[in-house]
């Protein structure tokens, strides 16, 4: 059809984020169960799979949405931080912690450790990162705003081309864990 407007492309993380916000509204207890599971565990994968069943109404007309477990977890953590004012207050009150340089260098375990280190060393920058629009210059600037922590949280000898979306998800998850622990809710991932 000539002259028909092409649909606007939306960053994948925005689609995942909208999906996560919807799932959080529909199944808050299951979301909390996922966020309380140990990252990278069989339990996490199992809870994530169960959580995603019956969420077709959250796809907003899309046939399906694909995402990895860390991507789902990060989007749900970010949605929870944005939806829960009390939890967000605990995130605001987090102080920087001098944590050891991670040693994990492979796969998701590396990104989990990297995100935890960044969120611990600069919780204010972690909050700034998740406040940005996806795939934006502000998001890139917020990631670079971690400054020395980007290097100090990198395992010695590892060269990593930062995947902002992946790191953002794991930073959001780590920030959620720390805020929950600060609230007295406890979290085995913090």
Residue 175 in domain: yes
The predicted pLDDT at position 56 comes to 72
Residue 37 in domain: yes
Residue 188 in domain: no
With beta carbons less than 8 A apart as the criterion, state whether 87 and 55 touch.
no
The predicted pLDDT at position 1 comes to 47
Number of domains in the chain: 1
Residue 4 in domain: no
Residue 48 in domain: yes
The predicted pLDDT at position 185 comes to 76
Residue 19 in domain: yes
Domain span at 147 = 12-182
With beta carbons less than 8 A apart as the criterion, state whether 35 and 51 touch.
no
Residue 1 in domain: no
CA separation for the pair 110, 178 (Å, rounded): 18
Token pair 């622990």 in the structure block, residue: 181
Residues of the chain with pLDDT under 50: 1
Residue 5 in domain: no
> E strand or H helix at 24, and its extent?
helix 12-26
The predicted pLDDT at position 128 comes to 98
CA separation for the pair 137, 143 (Å, rounded): 10
Predicted TM-score (pTM) of the model is: 0.88
3-state secondary structure of 168: helix
The predicted pLDDT at position 102 comes to 96
């Amino acid at each position: 059809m000539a002259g028909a407007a092409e649909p606007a492309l939306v960053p994948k993380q925005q689609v995942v984020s909208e999906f996560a916000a919807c799932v959080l509204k529909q199944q808050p207890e299951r979301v909390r169960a996922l966020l309380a599971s140990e990252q990278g565990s069989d339990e996490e994968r199992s809870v994530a799979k169960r959580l995603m069943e019956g969420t077709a109404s959250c796809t907003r007309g899309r046939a399906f949405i694909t995402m990895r477990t860390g991507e789902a977890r990060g989007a749900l953590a970010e949605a929870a931080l944005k939806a829960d004012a009390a939890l967000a207050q605990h995130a605001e009150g987090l102080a920087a912690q001098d944590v050891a340089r991670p040693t994990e260098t492979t796969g998701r375990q590396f990104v989990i450790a990297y995100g935890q280190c960044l969120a611990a060393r600069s919780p204010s920058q972690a909050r700034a990162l998740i406040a940005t629009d996806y795939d934006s210059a502000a998001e890139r600037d917020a990631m670079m705003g971690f400054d020395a922590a980007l290097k100090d949280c990198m395992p010695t000898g590892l060269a990593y081309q930062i995947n902002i979306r992946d790191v953002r998800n794991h930073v959001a998850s780590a920030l959620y864990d720390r805020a929950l622990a600060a609230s007295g809710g406890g979290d085995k991932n913090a």
